[in-house]
Structures are given as structure tokens and as C-alpha cells.
Amino acid sequence: MKIAVDAMGGDNAPKAIVEGVMLAKKDFPDIEFLLFGKESAIKEYVTDDKNITIIHTDEKIESDDEPVKAIRRKKQSSMVLAAQAVKEKQADALFSAGNTGALLAAGLFVVGRIKQVERPGLMTTMPVFTGGKGAGFDFIDMGANADNKPEHLLTYGILASYYASQVRGVKNPRVGLLNNGTEDTKGSELTKKAFELLKEEPSLNFVGNVEARDLFNGVADVVVTDGFTGNAVLKSIEGTAQAIMSNLKSSILDSGLKGKMGALLLKDSLKELKQKMDYSNHGGAVLFGVKAPVVKTHGSTGPDAVRHTIRQIHTMLEKDVVNNLVAYFDEHQA
Amino acid sequence: MKIAVDAMGGDNAPKAIVEGVMLAKKDFPDIEFLLFGKESAIKEYVTDDKNITIIHTDEKIESDDEPVKAIRRKKQSSMVLAAQAVKEKQADALFSAGNTGALLAAGLFVVGRIKQVERPGLMTTMPVFTGGKGAGFDFIDMGANADNKPEHLLTYGILASYYASQVRGVKNPRVGLLNNGTEDTKGSELTKKAFELLKEEPSLNFVGNVEARDLFNGVADVVVTDGFTGNAVLKSIEGTAQAIMSNLKSSILDSGLKGKMGALLLKDSLKELKQKMDYSNHGGAVLFGVKAPVVKTHGSTGPDAVRHTIRQIHTMLEKDVVNNLVAYFDEHQA
């Protein structure tokens, strides 16, 4: 099991990335890591070089690089070299905390899509607040595409349902379609057609339409949407959470000693809330529909999130998720 | 100035509605109110009957009635009779806290759209956290339509920009297009075309693409989107806020005396936050593009929100918003 790691991607690279790899190495001695990036910088954080190979390069993709251009022009960047290693089967999966758009492009154009999936989608596991620890739902497409057809949404349902059952261990995952109302007849042209396709797919436990306001209540284990809406929903969630937290903070700071004492007493509760909302303990976002696991964590990620993401990739490889899905599509769409 | 009020719409009707009308009456002695609903129930809360006319009816539309059917079949419902009064020019505006879908249908099919607006949109003023008191942005279409064309988004920009300047008093309102990235080249087929139309419209101060995560930071005074995305964004915001607040609450309750003391000390801060997030002090949601102001407040609304919404309707009537927009469209699309 070999994972190609873009050691230079993300705000805290290579420190957070390499430290995370060191943590993951202890959990999974069966993984070999190929670390792409500046050798001297990486080496600083390698505390044990068993199963570690460093492939040196000076070039890297910046967070504000134009994605497709960056992939085409920065052929020696840590991300492109890592993707290339996956393409050439020197590694089984690609991991990066760098420029999301560039990683999507690297997944599509370097690793390559599997022929049965017309439009790979980006999927992440989001937290659910009503369930037990670790409860969540798989949300796809969260923004790999700007436009999707109904058929893509059916494919996303199949991909994410497989992931939920095989990687997260959810039995018979409930698949919901994000829509503008819960009634069966609701929807846009796109979602009305997608509803019919999802309903008719015998391999899915389709539970119908779900609304964005109920996502955190555990209405489904998989939520399918087009990439434009998925992107808007995810950014709305992020923006709202951030606005509430920063306002609560400034309101506390403005309220003098009383507020500060209150905040001190509530520290544990606020910390618990933050942890619940943090979905990085489910791992990173998967570009689903390409020939190998291509997984992204947040740019501001720390070593723990890297470790969780490597655990996630380990499970995906162990269960041979990509090859099983290829076999599934071959069987069902022949 | 006459406002037709559906006194039976909303969870707390007719109490909250009539009490709100009583408050608004003091602010605006120039408004005459036509209250539609069960006379005996309404009268209970009428503390002063000057400028109040009650039009009795026993029928009402329930919150779970199928909207279009309800409007067609419940011809004697308080909502339909109120809409009818506007249609027949016995009233200048329609107000309801009832079934949103039914009110949209009543607006479209009873009050009627103005011929220059192909697809009326639902607009609300959302709070901005960085600005001073009362800062906000006008968000349109928040869900009147399931599918929109680029031309509709241009119309929404014009409608909401006019509203922001005339009703909210924002000088030269900045109009943003909700998109999946801030770069000019970003977007779906729909938003790319809408971007061009908005950019070329000389009457608008178009500031380009905005992302959902920045809405609360005041990136624009008007944010334009299609009804499907608008609905998803709004419900994501609602769901996230609710999930955070209810989790904070349960985390506090679980943390024993310490947590409860902390919460007590933070009471003012939490209250302040809640007030900031509450957008009902900007008034209700306007169905824009019909022949008279048709305005909706939340079903769970209290008397204060009713009062704010009536103030909003008063301003819309005072500024003659609908007729001025008709004149504008006649001039520019002749």
C-alpha cells in the first residue's frame, strides 16, 4: 500500500503534513509513503524514516494559482509529481492539502477518470449532530462541477452509497436528494429527473428529497446534489458557522468581566461544540470517479487531520473501493 | 394607503398578527387595515378600531395545504380574499404570515405579475455582521422559482437594487452575483450568462461574483441568485444556525453547574447574537414582480415582526416602488 503525498500543499506545509504522516505511520505500518517536496524542509520533521521515501522537488503549486494552468505548467510541482506517481502505478493513492482546484485538475487530467464515470464528483463526510460519535453523512458533489446532468447525480448516489457502506460501515445507507422541498413532486428540472433515476435504481436505499435545513439532523447517510448547489451549501454552512462564532466571541469581549467569566466557565462546552462541527476527523474530501483515491484535506489542516485522512485512504485501499466500483459499473451498465 | 392583512396566517394567528397591527397603527396613522379572518377571534385583540375593517371569513389555508390547490379551492380563505381585495384595488398591498407557497401562488395568480417581469422572485433582507446596526443585504430569488434563466437574474438585480436604494436608503447599492468562486470567469452556464447581462446593465453598480461564505461580511448590498440555489443557501444558513445554537444549549445543560453559571453570565451576549441574526427587524420577504407589494413574514412571527413588516410595506407604498419599477421597465425594455 503506497500513498503519494504532496508534502508542500496547505498553509502549514510541510510541517503539519509530515508530522501527520509520522502519526499515521504508527497506526498503519503497512503503508509506504512517497513524500514529494523540498527534501531539506521535509527531513526536518521526519522522526523515523522507515517506509518513507522523499522525492525532492523545488517547484510547488500556490493556493492562488489558476488550477488548470498550474497543473499544465508546473510539471515539476510536488502535487503534479505525486499525481504522476499514481498514474504510473508507483503509488495507489494521492493525498494533498493544497490548492483544491489544482488537485481536482490533477485527479482528472493526470490520474484520469474511470470511463464509467462521466463527471467525477467531490465528496466529503459531514457531521450529524443528533447521532452518536462519528455520525455523519456523505455529501456529493460539493463543487467539482459547475453543471451536472441528472445521470451524474445517479452516479454520485451509487459512489457515495458504496463509500458509506464500505468505508464508514453504514448498513444499507439511506440516500437523499437535496431539493427545495421534501415532497416527491418538488424540484428543478434537474432534481425532478434525478429523483426518478434514483428512485428506479434497485441497488440504492433512496429515501427521497431532503432539505438543506435538515442536513445536520441525520435525515440521510448520503446526500446527493449538483456541484453548484453543493458548493453553495457548503460555503453557506462555513460562512454561517464562522459568523456566529466570531460574533459570539466579539460579543463576549465587549461584555466586560462578566462575559469573560462566562466564557471561561463555558470553555469546555464551546470546545465540545467546535469538535462536533469539525468534520476533519472523518478524513478529507474524496474526488470520486477517478482511477485511484485522490483525497484533499483543508489547507489549514494540522497533523491530526492528516492522520485521519490517511486512515480514510487506508480503508479505501483495503476495501479496494475504486476497483470494486469499476466492476460494479461494468456489470450494471454493460 | 390600505393594506389587506391575512389575519389567520402563521402559528400565532390571529393574536400575533392583530397585536402587531395595533402596534403599527400607532406608528402609521395613515394606513387603513383590512383584516381578513374570523371576526370574533380577531376582535379579541383589536384594542382600537380606528382604521380597522374586519372582513369575516371562516375558511383559512393551513400551513401544510398544497399551495396551488389551496389557492384554487379555498376561494373564501382569509389569504385568497385578501389577495382578491388587492386585485380589485380595494387594497394597495397584501400581508400574510401564512403558507409561503400559497402566498406566492396568490401573488402570481390572484394579484398577478407585472408584464415586464417574467418570473417574480422572492426577496428578503438578510443581516450583515460587520456593518452597523441595521446593515443588511437583499437576497433574491430565495425560492419562488425552481428554475431561472439568466435574464431573470438580471431582472432580480434591477428589482432588488431599486429596493435597496429606495426602501433601505442604500446609496448606489453594490449588486453581487452568487457564484461558485469570485473570479469573473467562474460559474455554471446560468451564472456565466447572468454575469455578462449584469455587467452590461448600465443602471447597476455590479460588483461581480460573490461566494456564499462571504454573505455575512457585507460583500454586497444586493445578492442575486436563482431560486433553487437561493432556497438551498437560506435553508443551509437556517439549519447551521439552529444546529449550533441547539448544540451549544445541550452542551451547556450537560456540563453541570459550571456550564449553567457560564451561560447565565453570557446571557446578554447570546441574546445580542440572537438579535443580530434575526432578520425579521428588516421586515418580511417580498414577492417582487407582482402588481402590488405582497409581503410574507415567518409563520412563527410575533407582534414586533408584524410591526416591522408593516413599516416596510408603508415605505414601499410611500415610494411607489411597484409603479416606479413598471415605469422603469417600460422605458428600458421598450
- Contacts of B255-263 with CB under 8 Å at 24 or more apart are B255/A266, B255/A268, B255/A269, B258/A265, B258/A268, B259/A265, B259/A266, B259/A268, B259/A269, B261/A262, B261/A265, B262/A261, B262/A262, B262/A263, B262/A264, B262/A265, B262/A266, B262/A267, B262/A269, B263/A262, B263/A266
Q: Tell me the pLDDT band of A275, cut-offs 50, 70 and 90.
A: confident
Please state, as a whole number, how many other Cβ atoms lie within 10 Å of the Cβ of residue B326: 16
Residue pair B54/B82 in contact by the 8 Å Cβ criterion: no
Instruction: Name which of B122, B265, B300 to mutate to probe chain A: the one with the most chain A Cβ atoms within 10 A of its Cβ.
Output: B265
- Cβ-based contacts of B252 with chain A (< 8 Å): 266, 269
pLDDT band at B104 (very low <50, low <70, confident <90, very high): very high
> CA B224, CA B230: separation in Å to the nearest integer?
8
Q: For residue A122, what are the CA distances in angstroms to A237, A298, B46, B69, B119?
A: 17, 13, 56, 39, 33
Work out the burial of residue A131: count CB atoms within 10 Å of its CB; fewer than 13 is exposed, 13-18 middle, 19 or more buried. middle
pLDDT of A133 above 70 = no
pLDDT at B131 over 70: no
pLDDT band at A134, cuts 50/70/90? low
Q: Do B244 and A277 touch (CB under 8 A)?
A: yes
Residue-wise pLDDT tens digits, A84-93: 999 999 999 9
pLDDT at A263: 80
Cα–Cα distance measured from residue A260 to residue B284, given in angstroms and rounded to the nearest whole number: 35
Do the domains at B1-117+289-334 and B120-282 have one common CATH topology? yes
pLDDT band at A66 (very low <50, low <70, confident <90, very high): very high
Which B residues in the span 170-199 are in contact with A, Cβ-Cβ below 8 Å? Answer: 178, 180, 186-189, 191
A244 interfacial to chain B (CB closer than 8 Å): yes
pLDDT 10s digits, B156-188: 999 999 999 999 999 999 999 999 999 999 999
Contacts of A243 in chain B (CB under 8 A): 129, 216-217
**Pairwise CB contact (< 8 Å): A213 & B266:** no
Q: Which residues of B touch A233 (CB under 8 A)?
A: 212, 232-233, 236
Q: Which CATH superfamily is domain A120-282 in?
A: Isopropylmalate Dehydrogenase (3.40.718.10)
Q: For residue B272, which residues of chain A lie inside 8 Å, CB to CB?
A: 251
Residue B334, pLDDT above cutoff 50: no
Q: Do A262 and B265 touch (CB under 8 A)?
A: yes
Cβ <8 Å between A178 and B232: yes
> How confident is the model at residue A334, as a pLDDT?
46
What does the pLDDT read at residue B206? 98
pLDDT by residue (tens digit) across A210-245?
A: 999 999 999 999 999 999 999 999 999 999 998 888
Residue A30: pLDDT band (50, 70, 90) is very high
Interchain CB contact of A146 with B (< 8 Å): yes
From chain B residues 212-231, the ones with a CB under 8 A of any chain A CB are 212-217, 225, 227-229, 231
Give every CB contact of residue A13 below 8 A, 6+ residues apart in sequence: A7, A37, A97, A98
Inform me whether the pLDDT recorded for B6 exceeds 80.
Answer: yes
* Each residue's pLDDT tens digit, A289-298: 999 999 999 8
What is the predicted ipTM? 0.92
Residues with Cβ < 8 Å from B88, sequence gap 6 or more? none
Out of B241, B266, B267, name the one closest to residue A240 (CB): B241
Share of chain A above pLDDT 90, in %: 79
pLDDT class for A279, splitting at 50, 70, 90?
confident
| CB within 8 Å: B251 and A269 | yes
Q: How does pLDDT run across B216-263, given as a tens digit for each residue?
A: 999 999 999 999 999 999 999 999 998 888 888 887 777 788 878 888
Contact status, residue B158 vs residue B201, Cβ threshold 8 Å: yes
Q: Which residues of B touch A69 (CB under 8 A)?
A: none
Q: Which of B65, B177, B254, B266 to mutate to test the interface with A (most CBs of A within 10 A)?
A: B266
User: Domain map of chain B by residue range?
Assistant: 1-117+289-334, 120-282
- Sheet hosting strand B205-210, strand order edge to edge: B52-56, B32-37, B2-6, B93-96, B294-296, B285-288, B121-127, B136-140, B222-224, B174-178, B205-210
CATH no. of A1-117+289-334: 3.40.718.10
Pairing outcome for strands A121-127 and A174-178: unpaired
Q: Which of B130, B133, B180 to mutate to test the interface with A (most CBs of A within 10 A)?
A: B180
Task: Find, in chain B, the residue whose alpha carbon is nearest to that of A187.
Answer: B146
Taking the whole predicted model, whether its pTM rises above 0.80 is answered as yes
What's the pLDDT score for residue B270?
80
% of chain B with per-residue pLDDT over 90: 79
Q: CA of A187 to nearest chain B CA: how many angstroms apart?
A: 6
A14 vs A131 pLDDT, higher one? A14
pLDDT at residue number B133? 57
Average of pLDDT values for A136-147?
Answer: 96
Q: Which of A260-264, B28-32, B58-62, B239-243 shows the lowest per-residue confidence on average (mean pLDDT)?
A: A260-264
List, in order, residues 6 or more apart from A194 with CB less than 8 Å away. Answer: A150, A153, A154, A177, A224
Greater pLDDT, B269 or A57: A57
Q: Which residue has the higher pLDDT, A266 or A37?
A: A37
Across A23-30, average pLDDT: 96
Q: How far apart are CA A244 and CA A236, in angstroms?
A: 12
Interchain pair A180, B231: CB under 8 A: yes
User: What average pLDDT does chain B have?
Assistant: 93
